[in-house]
Structure 1
Amino acid sequence: MRFKPIEDHTTTTDGKQKRDSGAKRGHVLLSAVSLMAGAAIVLAGCSARSQSAPDNSAGPDSTAEMDRAATFVWGAPVAPTMLDPHKTPNSQDALYLRPVYDTLVSVGNDGTLSPQLAKEWKFTDDSTLMMTLREGVTFSDGEPFDAEAVVANIEAGKAGGPQQQAALASITSVKAADTATVVLSLGEKRGTTLGQLATMAGMMVSPKAIKSGDLASTSAGTGPYQITSVRPDEVDLQRSESSWVKDQAGAAVLKMKVVPDQQSRLNQLKSGEITATNTDLKSFKALGPGFHKAAAAEYGQLVMPINQNGVFKSVDARRAVDLAMDRAAVLNATYGEGEPNVQLFPKSHPVFVPDLEHGADVEEAKRLAESSGLAGKTIRLLSLNVSTTMAVSEGVAGMLEKVGAKVEIVPVEATVHTQEWGTGKYDLTIIYNLGHPDPAVLFQNLIGENAVLNLNGAPPASVAEPLAAALNTAPSEERTKTLQAVAKAITEDETVLSVMHTAIQVVGGKSAVGLRPYQTGLPSLRGVGVAAK
């Protein structure tokens, strides 16, 4: 196994790439970090009628314990790529945007969809979605939230970045029926619409701010915070007193401090420079007494896209990689907690297919490596330059070398990963996926035609047909069966490999109150605060 940094990245004397303390802001189609950690829910229904605000905040019973004049400092591993929800190419930016912008639909920690700015909805037919909006809500710049604001946002998203355009592609038109009702006409992929409106594509920005075009360092949402300052290593937010959910701003000021190196973040957590951060279970245990963690994010996942245009053209070569991996050993040596899985969903998920799971089989992997011509070849593995992902890459590389392959690991920063993978110079990559509320969209993002991580063109026919059906079907039991067929086809074709589902810990010191992970694996910073003395 050897390491080779890409051009313009500093290397240390041991040959490994050095983590850059500054935040690189490459404009890529979709950051690999953004694709992976949650993506595991099946939409449960197509109507909602709750009148109350959804509780995606952390620690709702802890508000009385908080010093509401305090500053809460979050240690973030990655700087934001862009703070415009209509244009950002990176789903990781949701960490910075969720405290500021509400979505039309919300995803709870149990994976179900619930109202946020849309208080109810219904499909009036297969291609029409009617949404009734929450009234009396204003943006932080004083503009009213109403049906015209929704129209302006959906149109801005459809004309925005590639990720947003793809997310809203199912909406062919949108119109305001009255001040509190919007009607969406739907086309292809209409089954994904509700789930997409729970993502950044469903975030609502003041129409006035949309027209100004200046969201790089300012904000105008309906959420509990508003952005006051943006620097390369820190984004500052303060409570929005006009917000309809201002009680979810547990602290007066929320600072997002960018510290790419995990050990540096943990050191600052110990010293009190930051209030909370996220880490793996082993690192949390090493902190010692005086620290606590929130429940682990359920659906975090490491996944391995495969370039089938070189050494992995043969399914046998891809299967050799699958069988060479002792997933449980990799998990235990890296994250320390989670679930080793062959398929893209954990056992608790409705799309999980039990008979697809299998363990490592080194002898069969050796046979397949020999017969497919993989043995003796050099595999170029592109890895995110994050300590845990690099550890996983090293573990997998060692297992592949045991079946006769050679592996060259190329570390790269998260902000340029997708751009580098798109060059086609690499055979494998390992990424942490932040997922999507709809499993069909996860499949589409990973292996769909023109998906940014799919270097193989159209997916195989065994995958394409059921995937197309799922994308165009409203949530139902039948759709779940179709999604299981997609999962089975992907696993049998070895189109993309799952390594593990991980448990990311949200960790704080004694002063941190109300910690909770968000369903997709990002932390929820609504409702966090500092304990009153």
Structure 2
Amino acid sequence: MLRKNHLFLLLFICFTVLLAACTPETAGTTPTAPATPQPAGGTENTAAPASVPEELVIGFEADAATMLANTDVNYVTDIQIRNIYDPLIDRDAKGALIPVLATEWKNIDPLTWEFKLRQGVKFTNGEPFNAEAVKFNIDYILDEKNNSFYRSRWKDVKEVKVIDDQTVQVITSQPFPTLLLRIADDLLIMAPKHTKEVGLEKAATDPVGTGAYKFDKWTRDDSLKLVANEEYWQGAPSIKRVTFRIIPEFSARLSAFLGGEIHLFKNVPVDSVERVKSSENGKIELVGSSRINYLALNTFYEGPLKDKRVRQALNYAIDVDELLKSVLNGNGTKMTGPLSKVNADYTETKDYGYDPDKAVALLKEAGIDPKTLKLTLDTPNGRYPMDTHVAQAIASQLQRIGIQVTVQANEWGNHLAKIRQHEMKDMFILGWGPAFDAQGTIENLFTEKAPYSGFYDKDVEAMIQKALPIFDPAERKKAFDELQHRLVEEAAWVPLWQQGDLYAVAKNLQFAPRPDEKFLVFEMKWGQ
């Protein structure tokens, strides 16, 4: 993130304007390349160009859960497999929707969407891409037997109709104004024949898509290796081999980068930025992310946080400004509600602010002596910038008014599983993104059946369900504005910040970070 807060804010303001215009530690250095030997009898000592690495190695914080598309709502899974599978619709670097496997689309009536598909595209096993492939993948999400965590986001899809090889219609049970966003953010296209022939268990470790890279080898909790698809419909990738190397700890990723073992990693610890910048072959790239970070106050757990007054008290007792300054060195933008300022549907909401006296008063009103209150806070370890440090700092702030907090650090996959299975206790830290529209956040984090929800209230859920089918932009915005204010009043969580992303990048790698955090290797290349 930018080192000066005012520059950081300027970046986000610019990004917001762009979105609004859219409709939808061991030290070391990377070894230098040896000079090319001179021919016998040569008199000039001309320096040779730096050698190009045989493969790009990306340090990644956690392993994918599966190689199947449309199954696991999990950033670390999605980011890796998006190099294997193509979407129908994608977002460009500014968040605008762009055609990929679908070339055009239209809303025929309030319940019918039609898509024209790109011709001449093949899966890497030779299967043709067509309308049947689109139907297969959407049907896969809707089929309860497949246990797709995307299913709750697609519940309004009634049927997929194949009109011809290059035309498909999606029929919904009620108006689904954000279907295009769901397609762009969720849907990836697996090869139907391959998936059916080998079965889901095999396909989960042997994926076939139409993407820029082909699957090579997956070693659980170690690495994912991909090779270039030389027949890719957009042209052969510049980088021929790529490895996602799983390195859970921040410090280990930093050491691997400084030692030249990896070329790229995200979430550079804020206290290590200068080490990267001063290293021989490293640079820092930064971008304002579309990801939000928050502290969930879990109402699915039978504990004191089911009382709104307790949740409100925690909002008053946590000093987000102090966390940003002391833990993240200012690398983030404070949030006051469930959406960030870069979200197209953002509205200004109440800021609880830091008021420990009011926090104590609310706890006593709820019949709780703060000095007797004991809570558990779960956090991932190494998934978000300084995540365990943030958790410990929150615990220290709550201790100021007497609340005892036990911090539990989890491996990322286990952290997500505990949330999905409602095994979390009082509080947990999570991030959400890309978060470009209100529904994408509110429906997925505040409804009873959404896999990562930590808050449920029947009246709030009714408001959400009423808002979802509204097509009129003004009426829809009004409904989601009301929801943002209601969620703040209910203290559904403690909003933290819009994440700022810091990347360590090899100096000879041409890489432009994206607000949606995608590592699309097709967009990268080696340079001088």
On whether the aligned pair clears a TM of 0.5, the verdict is: yes
2:249 to 238, 258, 261: 261
* Higher mean C-alpha displacement, 429-438 vs 379-388: 429-438
Q: Is the 1:335–1:502 Cα contact (8 Å) retained in structure 2? A: no
- Provide closer, same or farther for how the CA distance between residues 282 and 473 of structure 1 changes in structure 2, counting only shifts above 3 A: farther
2:91 equivalent in structure 1: 107
* Higher mean C-alpha displacement, 106-115 vs 224-233: 106-115
User: In 2, distance between residues paired with 1:69 and 1:477?
Assistant: 52
Q: TM-score, normalised by structure 2?
A: 0.83
1:322 equivalent in structure 2: 315
SS at the partner of 2:503? Answer: strand
2:449 equivalent in structure 1: 450
- Provide closer, same or farther for how the CA distance between residues 409 and 43 of structure 1 changes in structure 2, counting only shifts above 3 A: farther
1:501 equivalent in structure 2: 498
1:531 equivalent in structure 2: 527
Q: Is the 2:339–2:441 Cα contact (8 Å) retained in structure 1? A: no
Query: Aligned letter for 1:223?
Result: G
1:367 equivalent in structure 2: 361
* Higher mean C-alpha displacement, 225-234 vs 468-477: 468-477
User: In 1, distance between residues paired with 2:315 and 2:58?
Assistant: 37
5+ long unaligned stretches in structure 2: 1-15, 25-48
Q: Is the 1:198–1:437 Cα contact (8 Å) retained in structure 2? A: no
Query: Aligned letter for 2:365?
Result: S
Q: Is the 1:217–1:227 Cα contact (8 Å) retained in structure 2? A: no
Say whether 1:418 aligns with 2:416.
yes
Say whether 1:430 aligns with 2:416.
no
Alignment map for 1:23-102 (pairs within 5 Å): 44-45=22-23, 70-102=54-86
RMSD over aligned Cα atoms: 2.6
- Provide closer, same or farther for how the CA distance between residues 478 and 114 of structure 1 changes in structure 2, counting only shifts above 3 A: farther
User: In 1, distance between residues paired with 2:336 and 2:476?
Assistant: 22
Alignment map for 1:341-360 (pairs within 5 Å): 341-360=335-354
In the alignment of these two chains, the number of paired residues is: 471
User: In 1, distance between residues paired with 2:448 and 2:414?
Assistant: 21
- Provide closer, same or farther for how the CA distance between residues 180 and 68 of structure 1 changes in structure 2, counting only shifts above 3 A: farther
Q: Is the 2:19–2:342 Cα contact (8 Å) retained in structure 1? A: no
- Provide closer, same or farther for how the CA distance between residues 111 and 279 of structure 1 changes in structure 2, counting only shifts above 3 A: same
Query: Aligned letter for 2:228?
Result: R
1:123 equivalent in structure 2: 107
2:380 equivalent in structure 1: 384
Q: Deviations over 1:315-360 (max 9, x none)?
A: 1111111011111211223333111112122234333222423421
1:487 equivalent in structure 2: 484
1:473 equivalent in structure 2: 470
Q: Is the 2:59–2:246 Cα contact (8 Å) retained in structure 1? A: yes
Q: Is the 1:307–1:424 Cα contact (8 Å) retained in structure 2? A: no
- Provide closer, same or farther for how the CA distance between residues 239 and 132 of structure 1 changes in structure 2, counting only shifts above 3 A: same
1:215 equivalent in structure 2: 203
1:464 to 461, 485, 497: 461
Q: Deviations over 1:180-231 (max 9, x none)?
A: 111110124723321111134x101112222122323323211111111111
- Provide closer, same or farther for how the CA distance between residues 286 and 365 of structure 1 changes in structure 2, counting only shifts above 3 A: farther
1:173 to 144, 156, 159: 159
Q: Is the 2:249–2:381 Cα contact (8 Å) retained in structure 1? A: no
User: In 2, distance between residues paired with 1:216 and 1:475?
Assistant: 40
Query: Aligned letter for 2:358?
Result: E
1:310 equivalent in structure 2: 303
* Higher mean C-alpha displacement, 465-474 vs 131-140: 465-474
SS at the partner of 1:94? Answer: helix
Q: Is the 1:418–1:452 Cα contact (8 Å) retained in structure 2? A: no
Question: How many angstroms does 1:404 deviate by?
Answer: 2.3
User: In 2, distance between residues paired with 1:465 and 1:115?
Assistant: 34
Say whether 1:285 aligns with 2:270.
no
User: In 1, distance between residues paired with 2:518 and 2:354?
Assistant: 31
Q: Deviations over 1:132-168 (max 9, x none)?
A: 1111211111111111221122122222333132233
Indicate the percent of aligned positions where both proteins have the same amino acid.
Answer: 21
2:517 to 509, 518, 521: 521
Q: Is the 2:123–2:129 Cα contact (8 Å) retained in structure 1? A: yes
Query: Aligned letter for 2:291?
Result: G
- Provide closer, same or farther for how the CA distance between residues 162 and 459 of structure 1 changes in structure 2, counting only shifts above 3 A: farther
Q: Is the 2:314–2:359 Cα contact (8 Å) retained in structure 1? A: yes
1:141 to 125, 142, 157: 125
SS at the partner of 1:99? Answer: coil
2:9 equivalent in structure 1: none
Q: Is the 2:346–2:438 Cα contact (8 Å) retained in structure 1? A: no
- Provide closer, same or farther for how the CA distance between residues 449 and 294 of structure 1 changes in structure 2, counting only shifts above 3 A: same
User: In 2, distance between residues paired with 1:68 and 1:148?
Assistant: 41
SS at the partner of 2:406? Answer: strand
2:218 to 214, 218, 230: 230
SS at the partner of 1:356? Answer: coil
SS at the partner of 1:342? Answer: coil
- Provide closer, same or farther for how the CA distance between residues 186 and 90 of structure 1 changes in structure 2, counting only shifts above 3 A: same
- The higher-RCO structure (CA 8 Å, 6+ apart) is 1
Q: Is the 1:132–1:180 Cα contact (8 Å) retained in structure 2? A: yes
1:22 equivalent in structure 2: none
User: In 2, distance between residues paired with 1:424 and 1:76?
Assistant: 26
Question: How many angstroms does 1:432 deviate by?
Answer: 2.4
State which structure, 1 or 2, has the greater radius of gyration over its C-alpha atoms: 2
- Provide closer, same or farther for how the CA distance between residues 227 and 475 of structure 1 changes in structure 2, counting only shifts above 3 A: farther
User: In 1, distance between residues paired with 2:120 and 2:285?
Assistant: 34
Say whether 1:241 aligns with 2:230.
yes
User: In 2, distance between residues paired with 1:436 and 1:348?
Assistant: 8
Q: Deviations over 1:257-287 (max 9, x none)?
A: 1111111111111111101101244432332
Question: How many angstroms does 1:123 deviate by?
Answer: 0.9
User: In 2, distance between residues paired with 1:435 and 1:66?
Assistant: 36
- Provide closer, same or farther for how the CA distance between residues 531 and 228 of structure 1 changes in structure 2, counting only shifts above 3 A: same
5+ long unaligned stretches in structure 1: 1-37, 47-64
SS at the partner of 2:415? Answer: helix
Query: Aligned letter for 2:210?
Result: T
- Provide closer, same or farther for how the CA distance between residues 516 and 454 of structure 1 changes in structure 2, counting only shifts above 3 A: closer
Q: TM-score, normalised by structure 1?
A: 0.82
